[in-house]
Amino acid sequence: MASSEPTIKAENLVKHFTVDKSGRGFLGSMKALFHRRKRLVKAVDAINFAIRQGEFVGYVGENGAGKSTTIKMLTGILVPTSGSASVNGIIPYENRKENAAKIGVVFGQRTQLWWDLPVRESFEMLRVIFRVPATEFHYSMGRLDKALDLEPLMEMPVRKLSLGQRMRCDIAAALIHRPKVLFLDEPAIGLDVLAKESIRNFLAEINREGGTTIILTTHDMNDIEQLCERLIILDDGKIIYDDETELLKKKFLNEKEVMVEFHENVENLQSLPGLSITREEGNKKWLTFDNNVSNTGELISLMAKHYKIKDLSVREPSVENIIRNIYDNRIALPKHDEPYGSGSKMEEKK
């Protein structure tokens, strides 16, 4: 494979599912006997991207946006309806085994380990399956143990592990054969604060030092902000953003967020032009507004005039907040001069 070729590529990649439209329950099943009405779900709707070796890409979107479906096509589990994909120059759904030997995958929803076996034996089985030479295996296991603290878990059957412990083992399992590409589909990293930090550091390290290309699907925007230089946002099967994570923040720098905690529950909040409530929790409200239209001073004096305020803090926009606002149609992404996913920007940088 020529080095200029992207490591992961999707071209007009489409996956449609047809699902039964008939309702649930007895009546639904009876109706389905007579007319099978189908509904088409465009899970992935003609997406394009090119990911270069060594990139760490965040792949985000709301529930049902099509993230897992994309990952499944890139790992060869699903065959696209149309379009194409390649990983390390291999077409995954045509050469699933060949692809599997060169990638690592973690699906947070289900373990790849053997439920009843001690962790050690699962690793041993994977060593055999991937034909990892013994010396290399010991080297890898040493590194993985150091980063993910596996030793105390080695003799435990997988079913007895906590979710966080299992996740550490699953990540290790995905890396035993030292793949050049790693897919992480909602690896519940954020369970235990200490483990989370060490897993993040480890992922950053294999990406930076080992040049491992990583695609991370998550709902945890802190993971994205800390790890992923590039962000792809998927909405309803389509890519709506593909660029640097920082750039998204810069584009919305005018967006300010203020958290106000009131002394009592406030029903109909006094408003300012362009102000919106993004979150409410007890007597706390998170408000965002465009700094060009209103300003923080105006907001604070308005709040202080009408309400008894317990606490107030101003924050820079977080990626999470920006994305939530995009989904809720409160803010629109600026129009781009060129289609996303061309990868041209990444080229310029190199």
Ligand X SMILES: Nc1ncnc2c1ncn2[C@@H]1O[C@H](COP(=O)(O)OP(=O)(O)OP(=O)(O)O)[C@@H](O)[C@H]1O
- Work out whether 66 is an interface residue with ligand X (CB under 6 A): yes
- Work out whether 61 is an interface residue with ligand X (CB under 6 A): yes
Note the residues at the interface with Mg ion (CB under 5 A): 67-68
- 132 versus 231: smaller Cβ distance to Mg ion: 231
- Work out whether 68 is an interface residue with ligand X (CB under 6 A): yes
Token output for 219? 């709902």
| Distances from the Cα of 223 to the Cα of 16, 87, 189, angstroms | 30, 24, 8
> Closest distance between ligand X and the C-beta of residue 27, in Å?
22
**Burial category of 170 from C-beta neighbours within 10 Å (exposed 0-12, middle 13-18, buried 19 and up):** buried
- Work out whether 39 is an interface residue with ligand X (CB under 6 A): no
**Burial category of 236 from C-beta neighbours within 10 Å (exposed 0-12, middle 13-18, buried 19 and up):** middle
| Distances from the Cα of 103 to the Cα of 91, 98, 255, 265, 279, angstroms | 12, 9, 39, 52, 39
- Work out whether 67 is an interface residue with ligand X (CB under 6 A): yes
Size of the site for ligand X (CB under 6 A): 12
Residue 341, binding choice from ligand X, Mg ion, none, Cβ under 5 to 8 Å by partner class: none
Which of 23, 64, 152, 211 forms a contact with ligand X (CB under 6 A)?
64
Q: How far is CA 147 from the centre of its chain?
A: 22
> Closest distance between ligand X and the C-beta of residue 233, in Å?
11
> Closest distance between ligand X and the C-beta of residue 300, in Å?
37
- Work out whether 108 is an interface residue with ligand X (CB under 6 A): no
86 — phi, psi (to 5°)? -145, 150
Which of 10, 13, 14, 43 forms a contact with ligand X (CB under 6 A)?
43
> Closest distance between Mg ion and the C-beta of residue 238, in Å?
16
> Closest distance between ligand X and the C-beta of residue 206, in Å?
24
- Work out whether 110 is an interface residue with ligand X (CB under 6 A): no
- Work out whether 22 is an interface residue with ligand X (CB under 6 A): no
**Options 65-73, 198-206, 273-281, 292-300: segment touching ligand X (CB under 6 A):** 65-73
> Closest distance between ligand X and the C-beta of residue 129, in Å?
26
- 71 versus 195: smaller Cβ distance to ligand X: 71
- 62 versus 290: smaller Cβ distance to Mg ion: 62
- Work out whether 65 is an interface residue with ligand X (CB under 6 A): yes
Q: How crowded is the C-beta side of 280, counted as CA atoms within 13 Å?
A: 11
Residues 302-321 that bind ligand X (CB under 6 A): none
Of 93, 64, 55, 91, give the one whose Cα is nearest residue 203: 55
Of 46, 126, 51, give the one whose Cα is nearest residue 84: 46
> Closest distance between Mg ion and the C-beta of residue 245, in Å?
20
Token output for 173? 């399992």
Residue 64, binding choice from ligand X, Mg ion, none, Cβ under 5 to 8 Å by partner class: ligand X
Q: How far apart are the first and last CA of the chain?
A: 19
- Work out whether 204 is an interface residue with ligand X (CB under 6 A): no
Token output for 251? 């584009």
- Work out whether 69 is an interface residue with ligand X (CB under 6 A): yes
**Torsion angle, alpha carbons of 110, 115, 119, 121, to 10:** -120
Q: Report the C-alpha gap between 315 and 192 in whole angstroms.
A: 25
Q: How many CB atoms lie within 10 A of CB 27?
A: 10
Q: Residue 298 belongs to what H/E stretch?
A: helix 296-306
- 167 versus 176: smaller Cβ distance to Mg ion: 167
**Options 61-69, 93-101, 141-149, 164-172: segment touching ligand X (CB under 6 A):** 61-69
Beta strands in 297-344 (DSSP E): 309-315
Residue 43, binding choice from Mg ion, ligand X, none, Cβ under 5 to 8 Å by partner class: ligand X
Q: Which residues bind ligand X (CB under 6 A)?
A: 17, 19, 41, 43, 61, 63-69
